[in-house]
Amino acid sequence: MNITRPTIMEIDLKALEHNIKEIKKYIGPSITIMPIIKANAYGTYINYRKDILEQFNIVGVATVDEAVDLRNNGYTKEIFVLNQPYITEIDKIIKYNITTSLSEYNFLQELIKKQTKVKVHLEIETGMNRTGININELNSFIETIKKYSNIEIEGIYTHLSSADYDEDYTNKQLDIFKTAINITKNILGKLKYIHTSASNGLLNYQNNYCNLVRPGIILYGYDSSSKTKEKINVKPISKLKSKITFLKTVEDGTSISYSRTYITKGKTKIATIPMGYADGLPRSLSNKGKVIINGQKVPIIGNICMDSFMADVTDIKEVNIGDDVYIWDNKIITLEEVASTANTINYEIICTISNRVPRLYLN
């Protein structure tokens, strides 16, 4: 790729492979990893790297269109859509051989009408209260499916809502799920996949009855909770950077950026950096966030613009146009620090870096 824009996200593929090995070591050899590559692989665009994905027999996405993109990019193995799609997407599911979640009768009836083989994982409602089959309706739901040979129940799963901090609630969810497994096995026998655990679940709970895990944020080397790094040695795989494209020195009392939210207090040297909220840099970092230039933290000043922002570089001894500017480098400023300053979570920051920021893969 011929990257000419100074604003890029660097992706460390060696760190990614390290994380995969660490997760395998943590869960043991008998558990299947289904990497979660939704939202463009948490903003890293690893989902477009077929060479990396081919090591997995199944991958997880959030939408049917994400699955279609994978197929069009040459991924031939199993793709699982975590969220039950809408009925208008069923033809795509069949055409592109996509495995889908299933938790609702109307969607089931539309699948049945197609009379074409479709693989499904039953989602069980255990306490997330988002989607899923109520445990009291599971028996009749499965019995309905059994009448139709085109619906293959390949797996059963749930989502743990509070596996990072509420052990009692999580154990209640797991108890409900164990009951669901027993009901399903009594009717169907053996299941290919049984799964409950995303990043926090696999780190905090050992579910001997499950044979698949769904690592997301830890796959990319970031914290799923405050205790992630105490449990597993994963390395951040991304750095977000740009360059200084304009420098100027202004006098005391000069307003910076839109709405004059920052007024200089004394003579100030200001750098302009070509990255803004259209690239995914949160506007909430205006007058709050910091970036790294020449190894120093410097403050963002003024409102972040759509395509650029300004930083106060007065205290940097030597600064020039073309100097690198890191939004996060995983050492001086972490993704988690950026998220905290923006009053959000690391997931949101990395996932919302837009597609106009090129991804540069480093081996």
Active site residues: 38, 258
| Closest of 107, 162, 98 to residue 132, by C-alpha | 107
Q: 167: how many CB neighbours lie within 10 A of its CB?
A: 11
List, in order, residues 6 or more apart from 175 with CB less than 8 Å away. none
Distance CA 212, CA 195 (A): 5
Distance CA 157, CA 136 (A): 16
Distance CA 151, CA 107 (A): 12
Distance CA 311, CA 298 (A): 7
Residue 32 tokens read as 């299947």
Q: Is 316 exposed, middle or buried (0-12, 13-18, 19+ CB in 10 A)?
A: middle
The number of C-alpha atoms within 13 Å of 92 and in the hemisphere containing its C-beta is 18
Q: Is 82 exposed, middle or buried (0-12, 13-18, 19+ CB in 10 A)?
A: buried
| Closest of 288, 302, 269 to residue 343, by C-alpha | 288
Long-range contacts of 95-98 (CB under 8 A, 24+ apart): 96/67, 96/68, 96/71, 97/71, 98/64, 98/67, 98/68, 98/71
Q: Give the β-pairing of 290-293 and 324-328.
A: antiparallel
Residue 248 tokens read as 């100027």
* 67 DSSP assignment: H
Instruction: Note whether 312 and 267 are within 8 A (CB).
Output: no
